[in-house]
A = this chain, B = another copy of it.
């Protein structure tokens, strides 16, 4: 299959700005070249018209919980503990594989519509999530979330995590990869972490976890262990394998040095951190300190959208007030965090995240026709500060088109919406 995306403005790499007009060729799963308009020779199986549009690397959502789309808008306005104890946990006990499958499809539909091509997810019923991902056509790093508050839970939980990796790592022609996910330092003890590292080494996969999301959690950890969660994990040897750490809201300078020294990737989740009043992560300080900061939406229960374009804008704006510097996280840096740094966080850094010959063809075409893109002094700034998910018109993952003309091609959207609305009733 040879595809020509013709005459769009192109952002190959955010740090290089915008090419006003180019022809991009896709062969099989990869980009085969970028040419001056009319400069790509040969025949094409398909031509995607790009004039008046902007082609960008696909957005990478570095941290989410897809099945939680079921809980979007459920029990808003309760304090965190009541919300968990009275609403989310009882609701989670009612989950079934079927429910998870359908709400994963719903989340995937929203992600495709808003330009996400790859994501990292950790939850339960991950076999059903994987089935949904396989059908929808996205790229994903998936893991079973290990929660072992008591010793008897350790072995069964880790077995479950391992068997998921054995079954699904490398599936969907390589679009699905697996991680190993101790949920957090406060829900998993040293035994779990050590075994997780052993598994990560055995399968050559990353660890995906939550670190230092709330102030209270970090204070309690310091009281119990005499050091921060980041220091504690370093001493346990966890950072000897690639780690994707969601949140990192409450990290200090020493923590940042440790994260940078071990090439830990951080999934910055600004909406969720605001909504739960957790705080504002020092994303710009982490980037300046050499940490690979990606961006994630977290689950729809605490965002409530799965829209990376919204999330990128929020990250770019918040960084400025957090760093007290209007020049912090300028548009190209925000976009890098939302694309190539996300690809690196998911373990695809070497061949994903930019539009260049040889890289996997994950990309998104945005219609620049809306008034918010005019007058167009700086399309990259417009993308970061004024675009919205609905501007996305075409989405491609590994050379396969998942949406064209805002029409989903891999999912029966009406059926997914109808099924989810029906299944949701018993949770109200």
Contacts and interface: CB of A to CB of B under 8 A. Distances in A.
Instruction: Specify which of A372, A379, A386 lies most central, judged by the most chain B CB atoms within 10 Å of its CB.
Output: A372
A385 B304 contact: yes
A323 B275 CA distance: 11
Interface string A62-78: 00000001111110111
Instruction: Specify which of A72, A273, A427 lies most central, judged by the most chain B CB atoms within 10 Å of its CB.
Output: A72
Contacts of A113: 370-372
Given A378-B73, A428-B377, A276 B372 contact: no
Nearest to A418: B374
Interface stretch (A158-166, A169-177, A195-203, A326-334): A326-334
Given A304-B386, A331-B76, A385-B304, A374 B421 contact: yes
Given A320-B277, A321-B279, A328-B277, A381 B106 contact: no
B320 A371 contact: no
A386 B80 CA distance: 20
A372 B305 contact: yes
B307 A388 contact: yes
Interface in A302-329: 303-307, 310, 313-314, 317-318, 320-321, 323-328
A376 interface: yes
A320 B369 CA distance: 35
Contact of A274 (B72, B78, B320, B424): B320
B421 A376 contact: yes
Interface of A: 69-74, 76-80, 103, 106-107, 109-110, 113-114, 271, 273-280, 300, 303-307, 310, 313-314, 317-318, 320-321, 323-328, 330-331, 369-372, 374-379, 381-382, 385-386, 388-391, 413, 416-417, 420-421, 423-424, 427-428
26 contacts: A71-B377, A73-B377, A73-B379, A73-B385, A76-B330, A76-B381, A77-B331, A78-B327, A79-B327, A80-B326, A273-B321, A275-B317, A275-B326, A277-B323, A277-B324, A277-B325, A278-B321, A303-B385, A304-B385, A304-B386, A371-B416, A374-B424, A375-B423, A376-B424, A388-B390, A390-B391
Given A71-B377, A79-B327, A277-B321, 6 more contacts: A73-B382, A74-B377, A275-B320, A276-B326, A304-B386, A372-B389
